[in-house]
């Protein structure tokens, strides 16, 4: 599935993180990848994150899943919206919606959230801290977009929803099946279903905050520190005022901190592990019967292709002989790491049949990060 007559370089130059952009049906032949009943079935599953937003007059109610199978039939006439996170982890056709947007690096991709709304359904005017491509799957939805918001933007009092107290739309579009609306971080927006059977696929991108990076990187550094690694001042001489913290002392203290926090190679290795950590680590993707190395060799020799689990995250750092998969750094030749990260489907070749490559692939198959293309 690819976008046609879409200039990715021009989009990144002119719109990415700058302004909303409507992209009218750029698919060669749009086909909705998921039926509403399938989405409802996922929302009833314990391992899937799902929410239900119901609007009554000017009030909004949020329910968390999983939901009973008869919940949706009992909703009545009030407009409602079902939102299901990470549907790409569970449905290959939905996962395929990510491929057209891989001009953005994989480590920035979060997931594909899918929403289904009854007539008038929506989640209210709000803003997010991430980039998103909103793909209209079924039905029609009116989108209104307003100005940029920030931490000072007034919100309505609500325990569960971050709804804007004031929303003044500056642009408005009605999306038909196949249309895409890109919204950068911080822009106020509101989508309302026009008729029933309205489905929207939200391809979302994550961006770690400065505070998040500092906190987690510092935690990783602290885990590696020795209790004996302390400040020392050999060569200390008497000073005129014992209450002074001298420039020399400050320089030593500052170096004590920054030389570890500023280790770029260590940071790169940590970030590779951090950014590939699975979104839902509690879900077990391991196969019922793991393959042996001999079985893997035979399958690859006979032409079987490998596919990445959509729920797994793969990454590499150029210059580091490591493959980062699901929060782990694995020893891996750089060329092989690049190939395993370059596409969702990996066709067999000689470089996959070396002993080291076979051991790595067998381990990745055993933990469910890889599978064979002909397997479910």
The pLDDT value recorded for residue 207 is 94
**Entry field: residues in the chain:** 376
Contact 324, 276 (CB under 8 A): yes
Contacts for 194 with CB less than 8 Å, ≥ 6 apart? 119, 139, 140, 141, 142, 174
pTM of the model: 0.93
Contact 168, 198 (CB under 8 A): no
pLDDT (tens place) for every residue of the chain, 376 residues total: 789 889 999 999 999 999 999 999 999 999 999 999 999 999 999 999 999 999 988 789 999 999 999 999 899 889 999 999 999 999 999 999 999 999 999 999 999 999 999 999 999 999 999 999 999 999 999 999 999 999 999 999 988 899 999 999 999 999 999 999 999 999 999 999 999 999 999 999 999 999 999 999 999 999 999 999 999 999 899 999 999 999 999 999 999 999 999 999 999 999 999 999 999 999 999 999 999 999 999 999 999 999 999 999 999 999 889 999 999 999 999 999 999 999 889 998 888 889 999 999 999 999 999 999 975 5
Contact 277, 206 (CB under 8 A): no
What interhelical angle do 210-224 and 247-261 show, nearest 10?
90
CA distance readout (Å), 308 to 5, 96, 272, 279, 313: 28, 12, 17, 15, 9
The pLDDT value recorded for residue 329 is 97
C-alpha 270/C-alpha 328 separation (Å) is 9
Q: Which parts of the chain fold into alpha helices (H)?
A: 8-14, 36-43, 92-95, 210-224, 247-261, 264-275, 293-301, 334-342, 355-366
Instruction: Decide yes or no: CATH 3.30.420.10 for domain 293-372.
Output: no
- What are the domain boundaries of the chain? 8-205, 210-262, 293-372
Instruction: Decide yes or no: CATH 3.30.1780.10 for domain 8-205.
Output: no
């Amino acid at each position: 599935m690819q976008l046609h007559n879409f200039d990715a370089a021009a989009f990144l130059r002119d719109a990415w993180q700058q302004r909303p952009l409507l992209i009218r049906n750029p698919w060669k032949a749009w086909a909705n990848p998921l039926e509403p009943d399938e989405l409802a079935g996922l929302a009833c599953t314990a391992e899937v994150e799902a929410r239900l937003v119901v609007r009554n007059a000017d009030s909004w109610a949020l329910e968390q899943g999983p939901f009973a199978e008869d919940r949706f039939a009992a909703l009545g006439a009030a407009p409602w919206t079902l939102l299901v996170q990470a549907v790409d982890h569970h449905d290959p056709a939905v996962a395929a919606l990510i491929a057209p947007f891989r001009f953005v690096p994989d480590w920035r991709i979060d997931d594909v959230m899918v929403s289904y709304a009854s007539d008038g359904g929506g989640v209210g005017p709000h803003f997010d801290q991430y980039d998103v491509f909103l793909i209209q799957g079924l039905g029609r939805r009116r989108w209104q977009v307003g100005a940029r918001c920030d931490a000072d933007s007034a919100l309505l009092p609500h325990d569960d929803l971050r709804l804007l107290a004031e929303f003044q739309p500056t642009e408005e579009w009605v999306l038909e099946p196949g249309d895409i609306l890109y919204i950068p971080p911080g822009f106020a927006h509101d989508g309302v279903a026009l008729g029933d059977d309205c489905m929207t696929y939200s391809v979302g991108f994550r961006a770690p905050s400065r505070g998040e990076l500092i906190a987690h990187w510092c935690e990783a550094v602290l885990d590696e520190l020795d209790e004996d690694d302390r400040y020392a001042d050999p060569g200390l001489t008497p000073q005129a005022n014992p209450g002074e913290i001298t420039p020399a002392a400050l320089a030593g203290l500052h170096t004590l901190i920054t030389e570890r926090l500023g280790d770029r190679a260590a940071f790169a290795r940590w970030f590779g592990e951090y950014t590939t950590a699975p979104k839902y680590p509690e879900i077990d993707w391991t196969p019922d019967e793991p393959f042996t190395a001999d079985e893997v060799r035979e399958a690859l020799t006979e032409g079987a292709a490998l596919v990445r689990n959509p729920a797994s995250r793969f990454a590499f750092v150029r210059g580091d002989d490591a493959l980062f998969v699901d929060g782990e750094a694995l020893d891996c030749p750089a060329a092989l790491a690049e190939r395993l990260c370059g596409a969702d489907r990996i066709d067999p070749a000689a470089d996959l049949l070396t002993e080291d490559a076979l051991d790595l692939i067998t381990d990745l198959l055993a933990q469910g990060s890889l599978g064979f293309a002909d397997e479910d």
